[in-house]
Chains A and B, each alone.
Chain A
Amino acid sequence: MHKLISSIRKEILLLRRDFGGVIILFVMPLILLIAVTLIQNRDFAKSGHSKIQILLVDNDNGAVSKSVNENLEKSEIFSVVTKIDDQKITEKIAREAVFKGQYQLAIVIPENLSSDLQSKIDQNVEKIIGSLGLTDSLPKTITKKIVGQKNVNLYFDPAVQLSFKDAVMSNIDKMISQIETKSIYTAFEAQLGEEGKGQFEQKSFIAFREINPTVNNKEIKPNSVQHNVPAWTLFAMFFIVIPLSINIVKEKNQGTFIRLRTNPVSYATVLAGKTVTYLIICMIQFYMMVALAVFVFPGLGLPALNVEGNLIMLSIVAFFSAFAAIGYGILVGTIAKTQEQSAPFGSTSVIVLAALGGVWVPVFAMPHFMQVVAQFSPMNWGLNAFYDVFLRHATILDILPEISLLLLFFAITIGLALLYDQKKRSL
């Protein structure tokens, strides 16, 4: 025990003397958490601080283009630009501006879209009404014009991410569909004359209502903070792999490790000293990030993190996640020969584990093969346990599988580190 306490004291002294390292350990995760939560906070985006400018080339000048313009403005995410340098935008200008990255998106509404849409709908409505034998109500003025398919051209900045592109296209598609539906209803009303006026309820019949879980009759509404804090806290905790592996590699290169191997102290005791020290650091990181989310986030316009009644359970998840991160750091440090090996490998592999764990893209949205692979990421186990506690109000029994896996991961990585160390001695 005395040797373990001395080892812990030594590790703490080493950390205290490395100011840069302490900054990385405690300040960088906080910066990361603030930055990511602000970026991903949809409510914040909706408040009008960060509207995306899109170019609208209106060659139609009709009801459809007017409706598109209004709907885009109403979305509160986009701000519509129709002129550059006081000049009306043409398709050519829009294309160049977007492809140069000056704007992320341009929508080009073709000529006569409104009138052609109306003609097409009128023709279809005429057919339907004709087939119902209501030809008396048809106005005589309809001409049989052949209307081809119309294209609304979309230009995206090549640097725009696919997810953004998909979201925008889906929104525009929805908007056009609504306009078409509205036009169809209007056409029917017009065909039916005075009798049809006001007959059709144009408001959507089906509406979506989100039902959130309740605890003590209080609705738990997930927000970006509750999603981001667990994910990025876990990510930051796993970054302990870098300083920890560097610490071990340094000991090997300094020769202190050789000295320790000739001392009557087991490698397991040396590793236990590091484990306890870095476990303390991980828990301090965790509480700092939680405190930040609870007390500082509201001041930044973000929702406060609600940890009411969950702090003990969250601490348990953080504790076992820290074990997994430390075990991985010790394994990387034991195998790596130089800091040039341990630091890039440590950081890259943590990012891979985070990606697999669902920190960026939810696991359920991944391709099937990656969903299977994700089951082996300790960050996935930690994240699931955090979400279970935060958003599903799980009990200790509910998270037992995840925390057991995290502990098992620690045991396996430490076991591999000890085995590798043994094997190296027999060179």
Chain B
Amino acid sequence: MQSIIEIKNLTKKYRDAEMYALDDFSLDIIEGEVFGVLGPNGAGKTTLISILCGLLKPTSGSFTIDGLNYHDNAFDIKKIIGVVPQEYALYPTLTARENLQYFGSMYGLKGSDLKEKVSNSLDFLGLLKFADKKIDTFSGGMKRRINLIAGILHEPKVLFLDEPTVGVDVHSKNAIIEYLQQLNKKGTTIIYTSHHLSEAQDFCTHIAIVDRGKIYAKGTPGQLISETENAQNLEDVFISLTGTALRDA
């Protein structure tokens, strides 16, 4: 089993912040895993993913993706990763096809290969007949699916998903999860954050529960449940580790 992501002593402190968003954070993610990063609001999940995607610079520490150091190989890393941000990162006045063709071309896809990949993905997620409609006419679930396709058209080696099913109905959610599972079977390693603990329990092969910038527990969902006293599911594990205090206040 080979690590595809190696994170060593990663630290992030935002300017003017009192606490570290990531505090001496180390983690190895094995190739082919569906790795869930779970935690309450402000735990450091989005900061971690943002650093791994190159959107933020860490205060200290290092990481590699597929053996490549980000500092020296940013462009090569960007070619093998896919990112599905939490917000709909799409042009509302462009059609679904125009959006996907544009983002696909940014990964170097072109010509018939690009067109075919766009059509196949739209077809799989039930959106082919809406391919030439503008995004601003789509429902939340449809936008979420297009948002997903835009991040995976180039069949990335590593896929980062930040809350990919937030705000969508059960049908869209199932379609998205099914699509991701197929992608994982083809060899894509998935790093996933979510507040849907039952979804994470079913979907992830490994999970890390993080809070205050640190890892509190790590393992398969089954391991985490069995190692926690009186835990029936991942939610029990989560509450046991992070407490019940509100984090938004």
Contact B90 A262 (CB under 8 A): no
Docked CA distance A427–B50 (Å) = 12
- Supposing A13-B98, A259-B150 touch, asked if A264 and B87 sit within 8 A by C-beta, the answer is no
Give bound CA distance, A103 to B90, whole Å: 58
- Contacts A2-B108, A258-B85, A259-B83 given: A13-B103 contact, CB under 8 Å? no
Residue total for B at the interface (Cβ-Cβ under 8 A): 33
- 251-284 of chain A: CB within 8 A of chain B: 254-256, 258-265
Contact among B14, B90, B94, B107 with A263 in the assembled complex (CB-CB below 8 Å): B107
The chain A residue with its CB closest to the CB of B58 is A426
Q: Is the beta-carbon distance between A14 and B94 smaller than 8 angstroms? A: yes
A153 at the binding interface (Cβ < 8 Å): no
Chain B residues positioned under 8 Å from A259 (CB to CB): 83, 85, 89, 103, 150-151
A122-148 residues with Cβ-Cβ distance < 8 A to B are none
Interface residue? B79 (CB, 8 A): yes
Tell me how far the C-beta of B229 lies from the nearest C-beta in chain A, rounded to whole angstroms.
40
Contact, CB under 8 Å: B56 / A256 = no
Decide if A3 is an interface residue (CB 8 Å cutoff): yes
Contact, CB under 8 Å: B89 / A10: no
Q: Is the pair B83, A10 in contact by a Cβ cutoff of 8 Å? A: no
A residues near B151, Cβ cutoff 8 Å: 259
B20: A residues at CB distance < 8 A: none
Chain B positions within 8 Å of A260 at CB level: 106
Contact B89 A256 (CB under 8 A): yes
- Closest residue of chain A to B76 (Cβ to Cβ) is A264
Cβ of A17 < 8 Å from any Cβ of B? Answer: yes
A209 at the interface (CB under 8 A from B): no
Query: Which residues of A lie under 8 Å from residue B90 when comparing CB positions?
Result: 254-256
Task: Determine whether the beta carbon of A255 is less than 8 Å from that of B88.
Answer: yes
A255 touches B98 (CB 8 A): no
User: For the complex, is A18 an interface residue (Cβ under 8 Å from B)?
Assistant: yes
Q: A10-B94, A14-B93, A259-B83 are in contact. Are A264 and B108 (CB under 8 A)?
A: yes
| Extra pairs beyond A10-B102, A17-B93 (6, CB < 8 Å) | A6-B102, A17-B134, A261-B54, A262-B54, A263-B78, A264-B79
Can you list 16 residue pairs at the A/B interface with Cβ under 8 Å? A3-B106, A6-B106, A7-B102, A10-B91, A13-B98, A17-B94, A17-B134, A254-B90, A255-B88, A256-B90, A259-B83, A259-B103, A262-B55, A262-B81, A264-B78, A425-B55
Q: Which 5 A-B pairs have the closest CB atoms?
A: A255-B89, A6-B105, A17-B93, A259-B89, A264-B78
Interface residues of chain A, those whose CB is within 8 Å of chain B, are 2-3, 6-7, 9-10, 13-14, 17-18, 254-256, 258-265, 425-427
